[in-house]
Amino acid sequence: MGWTTKYSIEFKGLKEGLHDYTFEVDNKFFEHFPESLVEVGAVTVNVQLEKRSSFLKLKLQFSGWVELTCDNCLDNYQQTVELETEQFVKFGEETEFEEGDNVIWVLPEEHAINLTQVIYEYTILSIPIRHVHPNPSADGGENSCNPEMLEKLNEYTHFDEEEETKEEEDIDPRWAALKKLKNNN
């Protein structure tokens, strides 16, 4: 009996129909996943279990936030997590375990399903690929990135035109001929 049991649903003995569960995911949850993208967060997972005679259908709704590091300014910020998905739980032997991404197979003698890994994976999947502060400047507000870091970033990413022309003058004539060919395309 470990920490993961609090993210389990006992389905043996439940009547057919709908059953609702709520799970809270916090910093202690993310501590158990080494090398995780997320270490800090607060996510509520509402699970609606629909029990049928031959399978279970889980409707999962995630809402909350996780703390990430901004790709632009390297400051931490809170990223909103919103996701709704479905999982099917089917019963069978190990040889039948190939059907799809949203199907969880459990052995017929099992009495509970542990959702720890499912909750973790969908929380991570709900995070955008690019991690940046929410941009209120689109609404007329100020960008919430660290202005000092953005200034440094601009300083190192924008070439000075004088430097560019100097680099062109210092090019070996053989490479200059190749560059002309490239620019003609």
Task: Enter the DSSP assignment of 159.
Answer: P
Q: What are phi and psi of 180, to 5 degrees?
A: -60, -40
Tell me which residue of 116, 6, 99, 1 sits closest to 55, measured CA to CA.
99
The DSSP annotation for 13-31 comes to TPPSEEEEEEEEE-HHHHH
- pLDDT, tens only, 32-42: 998 888 999 99
Q: Write down the mean pLDDT value for the chain.
A: 83
What average pLDDT score do residues 14-25 get? 92
Question: What pTM did the predictor assign?
Answer: 0.75
DSSP 3-state assignment of 82?
A: strand
The Cα 163–Cα 177 span in angstroms is 20
DSSP 3-state assignment of 136?
A: helix
Match 């709520």 to its residue by tokens. 22
The Cα 53–Cα 55 span in angstroms is 6
Predicted confidence band at 5 (pLDDT cuts at 50, 70, 90)?
confident
* Alpha helix (H) residue ranges in the chain: 27-31, 116-125, 147-157, 161-169, 173-184
- pLDDT, tens only, 64-120: 999 999 988 889 999 999 999 999 988 877 655 556 678 888 888 888 899 999 999
- pLDDT, tens only, 144-170: 788 888 888 888 777 555 565 566 567
Residues 123, 73, 161: CA angle, nearest 5 degrees: 135
The tokens for 154 are 């601009």
Please report, as a single letter, which amino acid is at residue 81: V
Confidence (pLDDT) at 78: 92
Confidence (pLDDT) at 92: 79
